[in-house]
């Protein structure tokens, strides 16, 4: 792995700021260096929601298995339906879901049929009961019906031999139903990714501890836990690690021995107490250090000697979340054997001016709604400082302003990524 976007040491031992990779290059570099999980496990369908399918699912049967009625009504031969006036068809039996009619529907005959009941032999059309008057054993049917109406064909949902779901699919509720409709009780899924994380910073206190002067509570471990749990990882919370080389070295060792992925927050920038870069150089290889995004300029990717993938995200709470969603999560998808989720990108009109300097791709936090004219309108969720976590909490989308863009005037069109498509 070659290092790029790395800040070279200056004579004072402090690293200078320099250009980083574009977001696209960073994502491409990540995927080129990662190897997805291959180990699978069998799980019952009830436990499979959100898991990543480790096998292709091919339909071994037709769904539905039999041609059946889509409505309550009368099964008839389409050729008996009148072009004008009425016809009276003798009712020769009944068919219920789970209780087929054993006989055959002949010319001039009909069978009373319920939704889901197998179509009787001879019948090819259903006339809904609202359009029929039954009297003295005869069904009276008028004109205006179509041959083949209200019939669900065998295999019209899933035909035998169809590839229903591909390996790499993150199973949704609909997918579970689809697999169940095939009669399949369990599936192979990739084992969960194990992600260890810790926060770095002498000022950080865990919940329950008193705050000394200048201390703050560690919120990043809670956002990270939330995002990683949503993602479907097995999380290993290693707590707060102080700003010392020895403590960091030990934490890296412990995390790397117990996880596929190690994530840290804080300590990745150019301050005198930012040791993550130095320790990572000892403990592994660095893939990149800086990406041209805001927030989140310094964001580290690498591999520890033991094989674990490493991400160091900046400590500012908004930067932590933005770099996780924009850089870490696509990589986790890939590592987990999943299709990398495509982010839904929409165009919206900004209702207010947006501050922006050319140079970095910005992910501002926005509130997206539909304006009175039906057009999508977005505004800033809150002040945009990278320490203002409330902006993430209030927002429902990122406003994505590309590297080259300068300030945006009110009324201009911008790209937005709704969180709903992201998480």
Q: Which is nearer to Mg ion, 138 or 202 (CB)?
A: 202
Euclidean distance between CA atoms 358 and 408, whole angstroms: 11
Q: Which does 317 bind (CB under 5 to 8 A by kind): ligand AMP, Mg ion, none?
A: ligand AMP
Euclidean distance between CA atoms 127 and 419, whole angstroms: 46
Enter the tokens of residue 35.
Answer: 């190897």
Residues that bind ligand AMP (CB under 6 A): 199, 201, 203-204, 216, 218-220, 265-267, 269, 271, 314-317
Euclidean distance between CA atoms 151 and 173, whole angstroms: 26
- Min CB(338)–ligand AMP separation in Å: 27
Exposed/middle/buried for 420, CB within 10 Å: 0-12, 13-18, 19+? Answer: exposed
Q: Which does 218 bind (CB under 5 to 8 A by kind): Mg ion, ligand AMP, none?
A: ligand AMP
Name residue, tokens 């991400």. 311
Q: Which does 309 bind (CB under 5 to 8 A by kind): Mg ion, ligand AMP, none?
A: none
Q: Which does 204 bind (CB under 5 to 8 A by kind): Mg ion, ligand AMP, none?
A: ligand AMP
CA dihedral for 250, 251, 253, 254, sign (positive or negative): positive
Q: Which is nearer to ligand AMP, 170 or 290 (CB)?
A: 290
Using alpha carbons only, give the angle 166, 168, 174 rounded to the nearest 5 degrees. Answer: 65
Q: Which is nearer to ligand AMP, 267 or 418 (CB)?
A: 267
- Min CB(32)–ligand AMP separation in Å: 27
Name residue, tokens 């041209």. 292
Angle between helices 245-258 and 276-283 (to 10 degrees): 50
Q: Which is nearer to ligand AMP, 155 or 201 (CB)?
A: 201
Q: Of residues 257-286, which lie at the interface with Mg ion (CB under 5 A)?
A: 266-267
- Min CB(410)–ligand AMP separation in Å: 31
Euclidean distance between CA atoms 286 and 299, whole angstroms: 11
DSSP code of residue 121: B
Ordered alpha helix ranges (H), 193-244: 220-231
Q: Which is nearer to ligand AMP, 316 or 326 (CB)?
A: 316
Beta bridge partners of 41: 189
Q: Which is nearer to ligand AMP, 220 or 405 (CB)?
A: 220
- Min CB(386)–Mg ion separation in Å: 13
Ordered alpha helix ranges (H), 274-396: 276-283, 317-323, 329-335, 390-394
- Min CB(203)–Mg ion separation in Å: 7
Q: Which is nearer to Mg ion, 319 or 384 (CB)?
A: 319
Q: Which is nearer to ligand AMP, 60 or 393 (CB)?
A: 393
Q: Which is nearer to ligand AMP, 82 or 226 (CB)?
A: 226
- Min CB(44)–ligand AMP separation in Å: 37
- Min CB(181)–ligand AMP separation in Å: 46
- Min CB(232)–ligand AMP separation in Å: 23
- Min CB(320)–Mg ion separation in Å: 12
Q: State the virtual CA torsion across 361, 364, 366, 372 in degrees, nearest 10.
A: -50
Euclidean distance between CA atoms 346 and 397, whole angstroms: 10
CA distances from 358 to 24, 233, 339, 403 (A): 17, 36, 32, 6
Q: Which is nearer to ligand AMP, 157 or 237 (CB)?
A: 237
Site string for Mg ion, 308-327 (x = CB under 5 A): -------x------------
Q: Which does 109 bind (CB under 5 to 8 A by kind): ligand AMP, Mg ion, none?
A: none
Per CB under 5 A, 298 contacts Mg ion? no
- Residue 207 has phi, psi (to 5 degrees) of -60, 140
Euclidean distance between CA atoms 405 and 403, whole angstroms: 6
Q: Which does 216 bind (CB under 5 to 8 A by kind): ligand AMP, Mg ion, none?
A: ligand AMP
- Min CB(204)–Mg ion separation in Å: 8
Euclidean distance between CA atoms 62 and 157, whole angstroms: 8
Peptide bond into 409 cis (omega under 30): no
Euclidean distance between CA atoms 214 and 199, whole angstroms: 17
CA distances from 219 to 199, 222, 320, 342 (A): 9, 5, 10, 28
Q: Which does 295 bind (CB under 5 to 8 A by kind): Mg ion, ligand AMP, none?
A: none
Q: Which does 314 bind (CB under 5 to 8 A by kind): ligand AMP, Mg ion, none?
A: ligand AMP
**Contact with Mg ion (CB under 5 A) among 201, 296, 314, 317:** 201
Residues of this chain that bind Mg ion (CB under 5 A): 201, 266-267, 315
């Amino acid at each position: 792995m070659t290092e790029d976007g790395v800040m070279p040491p200056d004579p004072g031992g402090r690293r200078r700021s320099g250009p980083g990779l574009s977001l696209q290059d960073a994502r491409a570099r990540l995927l080129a260096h990662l190897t997805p999980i291959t180990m699978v496990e069998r799980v019952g369908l009830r436990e499979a929601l959100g898991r990543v399918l480790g096998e292709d699912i091919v339909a071994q049967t037709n769904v539905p298995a039999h041609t059946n009625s889509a409505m309550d009504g009368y099964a008839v031969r389409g050729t008996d339906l009148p072009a004008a006036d009425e016809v009276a068809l003798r009712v020769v039996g009944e068919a219920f879901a789970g209780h087929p009619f054993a006989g055959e529907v002949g010319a001039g005959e009909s069978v009373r049929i319920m939704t889901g009941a197998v179509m009787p032999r001879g019948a090819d059309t259903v006339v809904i009961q609202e359009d029929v008057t039954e009297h003295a054993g005869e069904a009276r049917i008028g004109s205006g019906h179509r041959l083949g109406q209200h019939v669900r064909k065998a295999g019209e949902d899933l035909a035998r031999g169809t590839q229903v779901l591909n390996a790499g699919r993150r199973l949704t509720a609909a997918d579970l139903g689809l697999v169940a409709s095939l009669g399949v009780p369990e599936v192979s899924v990739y084992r969960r990714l194990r992600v260890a994380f810790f926060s770095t910073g002498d000022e950080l206190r865990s919940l329950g501890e008193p705050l000394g002067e200048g201390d703050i509570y560690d919120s990043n471990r809670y956002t990270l836990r939330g995002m990683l749990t949503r993602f479907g990882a097995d999380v290993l919370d290693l707590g707060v690690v102080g700003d010392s080389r020895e403590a960091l070295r030990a934490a890296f060792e412990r995390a790397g021995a117990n996880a596929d992925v190690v994530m840290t927050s804080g300590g990745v920038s150019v301050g005198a107490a930012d040791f993550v870069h130095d320790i990572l150089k000892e403990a592994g290889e660095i893939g990149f250090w800086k990406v041209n995004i805001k927030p989140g300029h310094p964001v580290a990717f690498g591999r520890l000697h033991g094989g674990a993938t490493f991400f160091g995200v900046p400590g500012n709470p908004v930067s932590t979340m933005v770099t996780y969603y924009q850089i870490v999560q696509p990589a986790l998808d890939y590592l987990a054997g999943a299709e990398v989720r495509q982010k839904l990108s929409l165009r919206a009109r900004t209702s207010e001016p947006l501050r922006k300097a050319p140079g970095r791709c910005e992910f501002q936090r926005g509130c997206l709604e539909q304006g009175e004219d039906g057009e999508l309108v977005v505004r800033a969720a809150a002040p945009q400082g990278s320490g203002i976590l409330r902006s993430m909490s209030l927002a429902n989308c990122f406003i994505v302003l590309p590297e080259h863009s300068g300030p945006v005037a009110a009324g201009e069109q911008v790209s937005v990524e709704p969180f709903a498509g992201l998480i």
